[in-house]
Amino acid sequence: MEFPFGPRFAAALGLVLSSSPAALAQSSADILAPVRGQVTDATAAKPLPGAVVRWLGTTDVATTDNAGGFALPRPARAEASRLIINALGYRPDTIAVATTGSPYVRVALRPGAELGEVRVEDRAPSYSSLTPANTQVITSRDLTKSACCNLAESFETNAAVEVSTTDAVSGAKQIQLLGLDGAYSLLTVDNLPALRGLSTPYRLNYLSGTWIESIDIIKGMGSVVNGYESISGQVNVRLKEPEKAERLLFNAYGNDLGKFDLNLNLATPLSKKVSTALLLHSDHLGRRVDRNKDGFMDLPLATQYNVFNKWKYQSGNGIVSEIGLGALRETREGGQLGFRTGAADAYQQNYGFTSSTNRYTGFAKTSYTWPGRPYQSLGLLLSGTHHDFNSTYSYKQAPYEPRQYDGTQRTGLATLLFQSVLGTTAHTYRVGLSYLHDDYQELFRNGISYLNETPEVRYAREHRTRLENVPGGFAEYTYQNLRNLTLVGGLRLDRHNLYGWQLTPRFNLKYDAAKNSVLRLAAGTGFRIANPIADNIGSLLSAREFVIAPNLRPEKAWNAGGSVTQYFTLAGRNATFVVDYYHTEFQNQVIADMYTAPSLLLVSNLEPGGRSFSRSFQAEVQVEPVKGLTAKAAYKYLDVKTSYSGQLLRRPMTVPHRVFFNVGYATAYDKWRADLTVQAFGQRPLAPHPGEEGHQHGAAETMLPYSPRFALLNTQLTRSFKRFEVYAGVENLTNYRQANPIQSASMPFDQNFDAAMVYGPTYGRLTYAGLRFRIE
């Protein structure tokens, strides 16, 4: 099914682009000039360099120069009329500024006896009006609208990212951004690449929701500073800062499946310069549940222990250092109800799956900002990861053996970054050097022994090793005219020890066409090395035989697109409308083909002359019709196709049409909060099950098997008290279940067995309750 208004939208976008010169030529009366001014010491009547000035409800800031002067661009939001001024050792101040003309303000700050906390509360828009890239922010308040026990559940009230389950046995989940699997989106934690490579299948379970301060979702390629791997976008998770987090936060959660989560956050300042936060998480599911009566557990038994310790040092004279250390231990056990790991021939008596993961992480970030030059800094970023896992899967009957997939990844990343200005703050730049070390060790026993295969040949077939050493350099230039235009151009050059030189250009443009209208354009390239087994982990829970072609090449793609954001008022309150379109075209992609021969998973490079692309369109509106009531609705269309054996077909398991709706209400002082989320999914193509006939060459795309349409409703109610709040909710309120999520569940060792075609819930309605207790 083709996108019904694709050509019309392309024509409309072309009209917008072609009319931009006319928009640039509008009279200066239609564009608000930046606010300029000076910040001084009220007692000594001297300038205050390094003071921070920002608009209430935004994140864009300006800092004062040696003379105390500043110039701050007007945000696109017309209602912003108050400035917040902060300086170390002084009492902050908030002043009103005229919304017309070219105001010049003078602010005199009074010294404070001690530096206290100042909290100014205002609900900023989810879509930033200031960033050059198309960025949506999920705040800590948004995270409390759902159970949010881990990162996977953090996107439930967001339309941009879709979370899907890879199979009906292991519980692995992945995100989709712009219609592409999560491996194509760069996941960063505090702007450091993290949870990549072999950790991708289960990474959404490795970050507790209570640890997260906010999540930035960036569509498009993003910045070259963060590396070359981003293709569809970037998801940046901001962990809670030691000096700002609650002194104590305890969260307990339980649901009717028997799963419970416990979280404890502790943060404290050890001195005026040093603070620390200890983040603890544990979850456990020990109950065997089979609600659909197919003989398989609906969710695997699982236990996780997770700890992260973060330290921060602020010298007060320009040096800021952060250190973080984390450790994780997780075990999973899934399959038939009768499966027991301790039994003899456990994996052949009953169908079963087990995995265990040990993960250790660490990072260190140090920056120095020149006194009197808040725009000039030097930073050193270091991070390291050791990720180790072992997993076993039942696979057919003798003479076949259980499948075994074990892996170890050791990663080190170093970045040296310098940023400054060229003459004025209208021209800024960032340059740096980076070094990536990736050591992959994988063992994959496919459950098959071949006749006349020598031990040496079998060892080479089962052991996959890859050592990557990638030094690189990058430069990024930003131009901002303080009125309505921001340009960001970046280029990085990396020398990959296996694949040679790699050039990565990226470009972002933000143009405020009017006071409340923002146009963004983005284009660039991405580059990544595929991990063919980890990237297709769900197919291990099927009778498909993995056939991986030799000499897989790196994946490369172009991504281009843009968005239009319109801020307006409805019933005197803030509202936002956003429409965006992105096209991703692969020059090469590692394709997992389940169409040609369903009994095999054929993993190979994109065939010569073939195409693989993703077209993503989304329109979203957010309103607050009355005080305390917020609502947002979105429609998303995805056209994702790949060439399989010479025929361009839709990618399996990708939903072309999706409708999203969320409404929330909060009473005065947030004593009561209620939220309802509705997601409607259109039909999605499914791959044939193993043992069935593959898609016939030349047959129409409509001949593919498709899932039915369905909708999911989630709701939650929260009651807040002085120091704690209780919440209860229901997921999948209508109790929808996918029919037969496991093909041949009664004969799991048969050649038709398939647990990888999961498109909907398998266990029906889920109810839960929890408690949050905090001390600020």
Please, which residues bridge with residue 336 across strands? Answer: 296
Residue 452 banded pLDDT, cuts 50, 70, 90: confident
> What is the DSSP annotation of 703-719?
GS-BPPPEEEEEEEEEE
Average pLDDT over residues 147-170: 90
Residue 699 has pLDDT above 80, yes or no: no
Q: Note the pLDDT of residue 387.
A: 98
Q: Note the pLDDT of residue 77.
A: 53
Q: Report CA-CA distances (Å) from 411 to 89, 224, 285, 322, 355.
A: 41, 19, 31, 19, 21
Decide which of 622 and 80 is more confident.
622
Tokens of 732: 């999948």
CA distance 717 to 727: 6
Diameter of the chain measured on Cα atoms? 90
Residue 266 has pLDDT above 70, yes or no: yes
Q: Note the pLDDT of residue 87.
A: 84
> Hey, which bits of 571-611 come out as E strands?
573-588, 590-593, 600-605
Q: Note the pLDDT of residue 44.
A: 64
Q: Give pLDDT tens digits for 495-515.
A: 999 999 999 999 999 999 988
**Please, what are the domains in the chain?**
31-122 (2.60.40.1120), 134-775 (2.40.170.20)
- Count CA within 13 A, CB hemisphere, residue 585: 8
Decide which of 96 and 169 is more confident.
169
Q: Give pLDDT tens digits for 198-233.
A: 999 999 999 999 999 999 999 998 899 999 999 999
Average pLDDT over residues 122-130: 69
Percentage above 90 pLDDT, the chain: 70
Residue 16 banded pLDDT, cuts 50, 70, 90: very low
Residue 123 banded pLDDT, cuts 50, 70, 90: low
Average pLDDT over residues 565-594: 95
Region of poorest pLDDT, from 360-369, 701-710, 764-773? 701-710
Decide which of 342 and 434 is more confident.
434
Average pLDDT over residues 701-721: 92
Q: Note the pLDDT of residue 10.
A: 42
Residue 120 has pLDDT above 60, yes or no: no
Average pLDDT over residues 68-97: 76
Q: Give pLDDT tens digits for 564-575.
A: 999 999 888 889
Say what the pTM is. 0.84
Q: Give pLDDT tens digits for 179-205.
A: 999 999 999 999 999 999 999 999 999
Residue 674 has pLDDT above 50, yes or no: yes
Q: Note the pLDDT of residue 698.
A: 66
Percentage above 70 pLDDT, the chain: 91
Region of poorest pLDDT, from 58-67, 260-269, 344-353, 599-608? 58-67
Q: Note the pLDDT of residue 313.
A: 97
CA distance 667 to 433: 51
Average pLDDT over residues 238-242: 95
Average pLDDT over residues 429-454: 92
Residue 154 has pLDDT above 70, yes or no: yes
Q: Report CA-CA distances (Å) from 312 to 54, 356, 730.
A: 24, 32, 39
Residue 23 has pLDDT above 70, yes or no: no
CA distance 376 to 373: 6
